[in-house]
Amino acid sequence: MKKVILQDLGEVDYAKAWDYQEKIFGGLLTEKSENRKKEENEKTTLQNYLLVCQHPHVYTLGKSGSEENLLINSLQLQEKKASFYKINRGGDITYHGPGQMVVYPIFDLDQFFTDIHKYLRFLEEAVILTLKEYGIESGRINGSTGVWLDWDNPKARKICAMGVRASRWVTMHGLAFNLNSDLSYFDNIVPCGITDKAVTSLHLELNRPIDEDEVKEKLVGHLQDLFEFEIIKKEKNIL
């Protein structure tokens, strides 16, 4: 069975978490390159990581996105105590902030399956199964990565956004699941570049505060089942 180190980073500055992801990601790519030069019996098995965290208010723009989808200027960003970063994942603009669970799998997909489409669908499925435990039916919209409620009608609203990067089948970035999020921050962007649909949170849908640790445990459990891995180590607040 595949082995994964689970790291709960707590609330961490976005840039700090991004740098940390890049450090792990770059190290795995280097190790993978070195393995190509070795005999089969000398090759090492790459370590997989699952990072879970929250960020202070921040907007991130993927490499295929448009800066026009950020609807406020730098002064207004300061007033809202929010940051803005152009980053190297796929997708357009999104928001991260307190009350939102962010999950960054840094996986060597050569150990799992070499199919990015399947990888994204598994991430979505873990969220869909988690929501089902709270009595909420959710699904997908063709052409719009992420998890949606009322996905098949005009009231569709996104509860989880996704954007990933992969190189030589090593992944980084991941998903952002709105739990107790302040949804007013989404008013300052065109979320994921989509103009005709809303966003929501588990708090809003259930009309009560959400136990974020409970959701985290459920989501990680579903990721374990879907990707068939075991957690060999749990680390907390290491940054």
Residues annotated as catalytic are: 192
Best CA proximity match to 191, nearest among 17, 65, 49: 65
| Cβ(218)–Cβ(130) below 8 Å | yes
CA distance 93 to 176: 12
* Backbone φ, ψ for residue 212 (5° rounding): -70, -35
Contact (Cβ atoms closer than 8 angstroms) between residue 18 and residue 24: no
In whole angstroms, give the CA distance from residue 197 to residue 148: 10
- The amino acid that residue 147 corresponds to is V
Own/partner contacts of 43-46, CB < 8 Å, gap of 24 or more, are 45/111, 46/108, 46/110, 46/111, 46/170
The number of residues in the chain equals: 239
| Helix H or strand E segment including 217 | helix 212-227
Is there a contact between 48 and 109 (Cβ–Cβ < 8 Å)?
no
